């Protein structure tokens, strides 16, 4: 493959940087891979390799700063993994394109609702999870894991919104916890692409290093900037994802 690294590397860095803050990095990285010369399946597989490493680094940094709650996540992680495996198995048999109109509308609703909700997500009001919350969280993780494996765009935005809306996390904690769930669901897709030989490792490894740097810097800015910084970035990425899908539909 004749790859244009001058497009790939800056795009990969920006994707990981933004994804660490508010999710939605795939909106930047996948077009960067395609524009730099990757065939579609190799673009998706190699991107998943790089984004997984960037997400791992940002997850670690959120965790080190006390923004990841494993007492909460231990119930959700297995469901996210199972959901993602089921989603990948289904997408290998079906066309995921029919989901685009519904997801586009949902992203617009999420973005607009978050924009006009002045106080939501700015203060961490999460309390210890109870039995009802465990069930709600497991179902939430199963559905979002399935969606990530089956289709993917906007997964990070949906996870952050769900954690803010359903469990009263602030945007910083929601971003940290969303990285763990996103990393879990990404794992199934990454393994699937690897088994099917759709990862260009010659480019995946240097791209992964660049995405690790982007994830590290982005998560640091998110932690220091706080919820008031993350919220506008989150709203912007949700609406950009919706607009991108609308353009692709036409």
Kindly tell me if the per-residue pLDDT of 129 is higher than 70: yes
Q: Where residue 153 falls among pLDDT bands split at 50, 70, 90?
A: low
Task: Please give the Cα distance from 242 to 249 (Å, whole number).
Answer: 11
Mean pLDDT of 165-193: 87
Percent of the chain whose predicted confidence (pLDDT) is above 90: 33
Which pLDDT value is given to residue 155? 79
CA dihedral 158, 161, 166, 172 (to 10 degrees): 130
Which pLDDT value is given to residue 122? 62
Task: Please give the Cα distance from 221 to 14 (Å, whole number).
Answer: 13
Average pLDDT, rounded, for the chain: 84
Mean pLDDT of 15-34: 85
Which pLDDT value is given to residue 151? 67
Query: Hey, what are 35's tokens?
Result: 């524009």
Which pLDDT value is given to residue 17? 92
Which pLDDT value is given to residue 234? 78
Which pLDDT value is given to residue 88? 77
Q: Where residue 68 falls among pLDDT bands split at 50, 70, 90?
A: very high
Crossing angle between the packed helical segments 5-22 and 227-249, to the nearest 10 degrees: 130
Q: Where residue 118 falls among pLDDT bands split at 50, 70, 90?
A: low
Kindly tell me if the per-residue pLDDT of 121 is higher than 70: no
Which pLDDT value is given to residue 49? 93
CB-CB contact of 77 with 137 (8 Å): no
The predicted-structure confidence for 11-22, as pLDDT tens digits, reads as follows: 999 999 988 888
Lowest mean pLDDT among 16-25, 87-96, 200-209: 87-96
Instruction: Tokens 């692709």: give the residue.
Output: 248
Task: Please give the Cα distance from 172 to 69 (Å, whole number).
Answer: 12
Mean pLDDT of 223-233: 81
Closest CA to 165 of 192, 137, 189: 137
Number of residues that this document lists for the chain: 250
Task: Please give the Cα distance from 114 to 72 (Å, whole number).
Answer: 23
Which pLDDT value is given to residue 64? 92
């Amino acid at each position: 493959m004749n790859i244009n690294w001058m497009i790939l590397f800056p795009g990969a860095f920006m994707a990981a940087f933004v994804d660490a803050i508010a999710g939605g990095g795939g909106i930047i990285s996948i077009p960067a891979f395609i524009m730099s010369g990757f065939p579609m399946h190799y673009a998706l597989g190699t991107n998943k390799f790089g984004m997984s490493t960037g997400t791992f680094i940002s997850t670690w940094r959120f965790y080190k700063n006390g923004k990841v709650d494993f007492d909460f996540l231990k119930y959700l992680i297995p469901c996210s993994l199972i959901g993602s495996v089921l989603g990948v198995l289904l997408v290998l048999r079906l066309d995921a394109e029919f989901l685009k109109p519904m997801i586009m509308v949902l992203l617009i609703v999420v973005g607009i609702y978050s924009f006009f909700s002045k106080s939501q997500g700015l203060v961490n009001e999460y309390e210890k999870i109870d039995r009802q919350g465990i069930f709600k969280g497991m179902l939430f993780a199963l559905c979002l894991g399935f969606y990530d494996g089956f289709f993917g765009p906007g997964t990070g935005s949906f996870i952050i919104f769900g954690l803010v809306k359903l469990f009263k996390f602030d945007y910083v904690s929601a971003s940290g916890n969303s990285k763990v769930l996103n990393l879990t669901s990404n794992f199934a897709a990454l393994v699937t692409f690897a088994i099917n030989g759709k990862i260009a490792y010659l480019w995946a490894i240097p791209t992964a290093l660049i995405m690790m740097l982007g994830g590290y810097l982005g998560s640091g800015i998110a932690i220091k900037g706080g919820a008031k910084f993350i919220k506008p970035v989150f709203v912007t990425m949700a609406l950009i994802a919706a607009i991108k899908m609308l353009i692709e539909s036409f």
